Structure 1
Amino acid sequence: MPPSSLPKLRIYNRQKAHAVSLPWLRRVGKAALPACLDALKSPEAPLPSLPEIEITLVNDEDIARVHGDFLDDPTPTDVITFHHGEILISADTALRQGAENGQSFDHEVALYLVHGLMHLAGWDDHEEEEAREMARRQESILRAALKAVA
């Protein structure tokens, strides 16, 4: 897919507790998009047909509400991806899990963005084998994207 036909990324910060550079995150997402498209898992995956992807950073309370409403699990989670092109990222979870994994907040948020893009490319992380392969690919994509925007 030529760069001009890549989905447009719109990124919003709806939480106030944690600062993140939205222009930097947009650059990371744009750098990761071609590799996520190359990693397309199935022809039915929505990513190639989306004109726009909306990424919104929220807090744990907001993502837990959405998690409960749509997935019957009212607990906070890191990322929720909707196939119509919406990705919700919990900034609170990124801060907490980043610290647990020895990663910066920005790195963890960027990882969640790539994770959401991989879901839009048809990847699922509910089965252990596919989750391992998805994690391997998203780490590689994230490394390349971070290098491209450095």
Structure 2
Amino acid sequence: MSSNPPPEHLPELLLVNRQRTVSYDVKFIRRIGELAMPHCVAACKSDEAALASLRSVEVSIVSDKTIAKVHGEFFDDPTPTDVITFLHGELVLGAETIRANAKTYRQSPNDEAALCVVHGLLHLAGWNDLRKREAESMAKRQEKIFQLARAALKSA
């Protein structure tokens, strides 16, 4: 991934399921995030990237109704989405949107949620997906990190 040495201190990943509509394996999603963390920190675009200095990253899985409120309040778009990243170290995941995306991409909701965590961590590492080329590069990186984390989980 990167020739950077592993960081001395990795941010702690805190994950809370704050909804009851979709059943998620919170332990699995948290573990994938933890295993992805060193790769995401190593992928920081600069020393100023938020992930380079955070002590923790809090992930909340919420209902689509809740994430739509957050999306509207902070991004002037009152629609549900899969993941919102705040640079102070908070990721908000939309449960029903993730479940729908999992069907579209033919994977489990747990894998899709874990992939959203990796996506959010890369945003904290300074990655952006607003332009097509950036989005493609970020998607490749997040898939590679996700696969590395899954492989590490299987071998543990």
Query: Normalised by the shorter chain, which TM-score bucket?
Result: over 0.9
- 1:104 positional shift: 0.8
- 1:40 positional shift: 1.0
The AA in structure 2 aligned to 1:108 is E
User: Hey, which bits of structure 1, 4+ residues long, moved more than 3 A?
Assistant: 1-4
Does residue 124 in structure 1 map to residue 125 in structure 2? no
TM-score calculated relative to the size of structure 1: 0.96
Q: Matches of residues 6-21 of structure 1 in structure 2 within 5 Å?
A: 6-21=10-25
TM-score calculated relative to the size of structure 2: 0.92
Distance 1:4 1:28 in 2: 20
Distance 2:16 2:127 in 1: 24
Check conservation: 2:10, 2:41, Cα contact below 8 A.
no
Percent identity reads 48
For structure 1, which segment, 16-25 or 30-39, has the greater mean C-alpha deviation from structure 2 after superposition?
16-25
The AA in structure 2 aligned to 1:67 is H
Q: Matches of residues 94-133 of structure 1 in structure 2 within 5 Å?
A: 94-133=98-137
Q: Is the partner of 2:106 in helix, strand or coil? A: coil
Q: Matches of residues 60-139 of structure 1 in structure 2 within 5 Å?
A: 60-139=64-143
Q: Is the partner of 2:139 in helix, strand or coil? A: helix
Distance 1:74 1:117 in 2: 23
Task: Give 5+ residue unaligned stretches, structure 1.
Answer: none
CA RMSD between the two structures = 1.3
Distance 1:133 1:10 in 2: 27
Per the alignment, residue 146 of structure 1 pairs with: 150
Check conservation: 2:29, 2:111, Cα contact below 8 A.
no
The AA in structure 2 aligned to 1:106 is N
- 1:4 positional shift: 6.1
Distance 1:91 1:4 in 2: 33
Does residue 42 in structure 1 map to residue 22 in structure 2? no
The AA in structure 1 aligned to 2:126 is G
